[in-house]
A = this chain, B = another copy of it.
Amino acid sequence: SATHLLETLNSSDANIDDIGTYDDFHTIDWLREMSRNRLRHRQIIYRKKESFFRTLKGLHDAWSGWLVVLLVGLAAGTCAGIIDIVTKWLTDIKLGTCTGKFWLNKESCCWNSETISASGENCTEWKTWAAIFGVDHGSSTTIYAVNYMLYIVLALSFASLAAILVKMFAPYACGSGIPEVKTILSGFIIRGYLGKWTLLIKSITAPLAVASNLSLGKEGPLVHIAGCCGNIFAHLFPKYGKNEAKKREVLSAAAAAGVSVAFGAPVGGVLFSLEEVSYYFPMKTLWRSFFCALTAAFILRSINPFGNSHLVMFYVTYNKPWFLFELVPFALIGALGGLYGAAFIHANLAWCKFRKTSKLGNYPIIEVMVVTLVTAAASYPNPYTRIDASMMIAELVKECGPVVQNNLCDYSFSKQPTNTTFSVVQDFPVAPIGSGLRTALWQLALALLFKGVITVFTFGLKVPTGLFIPSMGVGAIMGRLIGVGVEQLVYMYPDCVLWNTSCHAGHSCVTPGLYAMVGAAATLGGVTRMTVSLVVIMFELTGGLQYIVPLMAAAMFSKWVGDAFGNEGIYDGHIRLNGYPFLDNKEEFTHTTLATDVMRPRRGDNPLTVVVQEGMSVEDLETLVRTTNFNGFPVITSHDTQQLVGYLYRRDLILALENAHQHNDNVLSNSPVYFTLHAPTPSLSNTNDPSPVRLFNIVDLSPITVTDHTPMEIVVEIFSKLGIRQALVTHNGKLLGIITKKDVLRHIAQLNKQDPDSILFN
């Protein structure tokens, strides 16, 4: 058995690399890839004792799994750190610059500043563009106009630069990338989508796009960027680079690292990868993904891009309790978030469909510029849209305390709380809305409206467009507005039975900042339909187990309401729109169709193209290869019995025929081909007869088969759980037809009243 094994290994050594290559836009066969990996692994184990070099190779192989995720984690963390720093600098430069030290962002510029200006907020080193250009002595209108104009010009130039770079160097760098990463992880090949050019261009254009003040984030693109890192490092290790199934383990880990650095949430990142992105996720991968996510977070923390030792701009630590009655507004926020999500998905998909089908799709750069112009022009006047969306979220989720002095905390206290007796935040008194807060509420309402609408047109532009931050931004505004409303309600009716036991008169017991956080979770849940990972990410952002119940309540209501208006998240919607062959393993197939309804040939079609074990010539097979484009052919005993023997892959057949021609000049067009174990010995007398070709060894003798009566629910389960590409259909042991993954997907689309031809690829 051992010698036989080794023999098999040696014979298969030659073409082992060729077998694994798939064409672009084709689906991989997980079962086959995993078998190939096990073969490779056995080979290494078996040869381990041959020499010291082989032992070392075996050791390298065993550790390469950890090494590759370590490298991916390091790379993803570094990329994220650089992107964060560049984004911050670019965002600030729209408003002004640091005199003498243009490479510093506003915070770093003012870090060591001892000269605080009169306004109490700005340092003198940091100057607006109006001041730089010497118009700061003009009228305030002139100053405003100059700053406004430069804001728009800079935003426009950032966005057009990004759009041009994407169009010229890496068309795949546009969008969030999550739908495509999800499709790739489900076993689809898109060459170059995770390549080095995409990585480079996306890393450059993501900060530009964010800085152009478009309603988009860099969090989704970070997942794509991490995926690129994963793909690039996987190629350093043949174990992962040359096996599409194993490569996807690294990509799953990379996706986890991407979310980990995007939100500073390693656990949430792993759960996101598990829940939302990954397809095949064994426990070993879970553990490595966790390691990868943690490494990335650790690196980012060492880079410390925000200077606050947290990984995101809006990390908060509340210390106020919440009360049971608040679950009602939290549920309401959740439901509104779900509604927004459903509306957003419908509108955005409709707009993207329009873009695809109309002439609009031909002018991506102009489209980007128009949207940027509109966004920048409308954003500047409103202080909440003028700043970066993640800074806005950071401001909205903060609680009001004695130290915080901004419009959002401007209540009309009977006594102004300027004295420092309010050291404990719990003692912050409750009061009616002040004029500053009233202004802020109006501005927020306008920002909500504007952001809610413009994001529909932004997601899908041909620049890197993340959706997390804009969704969270809309939700944070909504949550803060509702939070202030509830706060005022409690203030006005302190004796209401709902809260009179929880809230002590005169003291605030409602934290509007928490409502903003809950709102962010609700809209994000409504748009993406994430569940566990959403709650865990938000839980890691709020840094306490205390708020997990409100977040969970909002996420649940958001999901329920969202699902009531359409069962798919934005990523699934875009996958469908683009026609990617994604077989969702989370959806249950509930129809009663049978395998016979789905298989090909259909009634009236040409009969199935098959190969018979004996009786075909080299020419027959070459004609078969030339005239068809099937990925493989079932092998049967004879046309009479139709008994299934196995499956022959097109690629293997082509290689084998080429091989036969090369090694034996007597293999001619009329050479008989035998797919049997024991081919008849050629008679020695007729040496001029063409040599027979024996190709038994290239037949896959263990194809997955189902009977014609198998319910499609089971067929779908077999396809999604085993990750196969085709299954053969038999009746009483006789071959009837074939079902491919594409057939299954078309069938599902048809049953869901969608166009079955929307599935574009193989």
How far is it, in angstroms, between the C-alpha of A482 and the C-alpha of B722 when the chains are bound?
A: 48
Closest chain B CB from A79 CB (angstroms):
20
Give the CA-CA distance A592 to B35 in the complex, in Å: 10
Smallest beta-carbon distance A12→chain B, Å: 13
B702-A283 in contact (CB<8A)? no
- Identify which of residues 477-503 in chain A touch chain B, using a CB-to-CB cut-off of 8 Å: none
Contact A645 B732 (CB under 8 A): yes
- Contact of A531 with B by CB under 8 A: yes
Residues of chain B within 8 A (CB-CB) of A286 are 275, 531-532
Within 8 A of B (CB), among A521-545: 531-532, 535-536, 539-540, 543-545
Q: Is the CB of A532 within 8 A of B287?
A: yes
Cα-based distance from A294 to B549 in the complex (angstroms): 7
Say yes or no: A291 contacts B556, CB within 8 Å.
yes
Q: Which one, B270, B282, B588, B734, contacts A733 given CB within 8 A? A: B734
- Give Cα A636–Cα B534 distance, bound, in whole angstroms: 52
- Taking a contact as CB atoms under 8 Å apart, the answer to whether A590 and B42 are in contact is yes
Interface size on A, residues (CB 8 A): 67
The proximity string for A residues 10-41 relative to B, scoring 1 for CB distances below 8 Å and 0 otherwise, is 00000000000000000000010011001001
Verify if A717 is at the interface (C-beta below 8 Å from B). Answer: yes
User: CA A637 – CA B562 in complex, angstroms?
Assistant: 52
Tell me if A722 and B717 are in contact (CB < 8 A). Answer: yes
Copies of this chain present in the complex amount to 2
A5 within 8 A of partner (CB): yes
A35 touches B707 (CB 8 A): no
Closest to A530 in B: B287
Looking at the assembled complex, report how far the CB atom of A706 sits from the nearest CB atom of chain B, in whole angstroms.
7
Q: Is the interface of A mostly helix, strand, loop or mixed?
A: helix
- Residues 627-667 of A, flagged 1 when their CB comes within 8 A of B and 0 if not, give 00000000001000101111000000000000000000000
A591: nearest residue on chain B (CB-CB)? B42
Interface assignment of A713: CB less than 8 Å from any CB of chain B: yes
Interface status of A267 (Cβ within 8 A of chain B): yes
Contact, CB under 8 Å: B717 / A267 = no
**Docked CA distance A548–B291 (Å):** 10
Give A586's nearest chain B residue, CB to CB: B283
Which of B41, B284, B552 meets A294, CB within 8 Å? B552
Task: Tell me, rounded to whole Å, the shortest Cβ–Cβ distance linking A714 to chain B.
Answer: 6
A505 interfacial by beta-carbon distance below 8 Å: no
In the complex, which residues of chain B have a beta carbon less than 8 angstroms from the beta carbon of A49?
A: none
Question: CB distance A732 to B637 under 8 Å?
Answer: yes
Assess the A291–B552 pair: CB atoms within 8 A: yes
Residues on the B chain within 8 Å of A270, using CB: 532
Asked if A535 and B290 sit within 8 Å, CB to CB, the answer is yes
List which A702-718 residues lie within 8 A (CB) of chain B.
702-703, 705-707, 709-711, 713-714, 717-718
Contact of A722 among B31, B264, B718 (CB under 8 A): B718
A595 cross-chain contacts in B, Cβ below 8 A? 702
Contact of A266 among B548, B643, B701 (CB under 8 A): B548
Q: How far is the CB of A263 from chain B (nearest CB, A)?
A: 12
Cα-based distance from A540 to B536 in the complex (angstroms): 12
Interface centre among A267, A590, A730 (most CB of B within 10 A): A267
* Residues from chain B with Cβ under 8 Å of A41 in the complex: 590
Given A290-B531, A592-B5, also A35-B711 (CB < 8 A): yes
A561–B701 CA distance with the chains assembled, in angstroms: 40
Q: Is A353 an interface residue (CB 8 A)?
A: no
* A314 proximal to B (CB < 8 A): no
The distance from the CB of A325 to the nearest CB of chain B, in whole angstroms, is 15
Q: Quick check: B590 and A643 within 8 Å, CB to CB?
A: no
Residue on B with the closest CB to A1? B592
Distance in angstroms between the alpha carbons of A695 and B506 in the assembled complex = 79
A552 neighbours in B (Cβ, 8 Å): 290-291, 294
Q: Are B592 and A42 in contact (CB under 8 A)?
A: yes
Contact of A35 with B709 in the complex, beta carbons under 8 Å: no
- Per a CB cutoff under 8 Å, which of B5, B38, B592, B646 touches A588? B38
* Cα distance, A474 to B476, chains bound together (Å): 46
| B721 near A294: Cβ-Cβ < 8 Å | no
What residue in chain B is nearest A706 (Cβ atoms)?
Answer: B702
Is the CB of A298 closer than 8 A to any CB of chain B? yes
Chain B residues with Cβ below 8 Å from A532 are: 270, 286-287, 290
Interface code A283-305, partner B: CB below 8 Å = 1, 0 otherwise? 11011001100100110000000
Interface string of A306-328 (1 = CB under 8 A from B): 00000000000000000000000
Are B702 and A734 interface neighbours, CB within 8 A?
no
Min CB–CB distance A323 → chain B (angstroms): 13
Q: Which of B283, B298, B735 lies in contact with A549, CB distance below 8 A?
A: B298
Contacts of A701 in B (CB 8 A): 707, 709-710
Q: How far is the CA of A35 from the CA of B552 in the complex (A)?
A: 31
| Residues of B close to A266: CB separation below 8 A | 545, 548
Smallest CB-CB separation from A298: which chain B residue?
A: B549
CA distance A701 to B549 in the complex (A): 48
Chain B residue at smallest Cβ distance from A644:
B733
A552, B289: Cα distance in complex, Å: 12
Q: Are B31 and A643 closer than 8 Å at their CB atoms?
A: no
Also in contact, A705 and B702, with CB within 8 A (given A38-B713, A267-B539, A552-B291): no
- Distance from A619 Cβ to chain B, minimum over Cβ atoms (Å): 26
Q: Which residue of B lies closest to A721 (CB)?
A: B721
A677 to chain B, nearest CB (A): 10
Among candidates B42, B643, B718, residue contacting A734 with C-beta atoms closer than 8 Å: B643
Residues in A168-208 with C-beta less than 8 Å from chain B: none
- B residues in contact with A539, CB < 8 Å: 267
Report whether A702 and B722 are in contact in the complex, using a CB–CB cutoff of 8 Å.
no
Write out, one digit per residue, whether chain A residues 542-562 have a CB within 8 A of any chain B CB (1) or not (0): 011100110010001000000
Contact B42 A267 (CB under 8 A): no
* Binary per-residue interface labels of chain A (138-161) against chain B in the complex, 1 for a CB within 8 Å, 0 otherwise: 000000000000000000000000
A702, B283: Cα distance in complex, Å: 31
With A275-B283, A706-B702, A721-B722: A35-B732 Cβ-Cβ less than 8 Å: no
A289 smallest CB distance to B (angstroms): 8
What CA separation (Å) do A709 and B705 show in the bound complex? 13
Listed from nearest, the 4 A-B pairs whose CB atoms lie closest are A733-B733, A702-B710, A701-B709, A643-B733
Known: A38-B590, A298-B549, A701-B710. 5 other contacts (CB 8 A): A286-B532, A290-B531, A646-B709, A705-B705, A717-B722
Show 5 A/B contacts (Cβ-Cβ < 8 Å), sorted by A: A34-B713, A41-B590, A42-B592, A275-B286, A286-B531
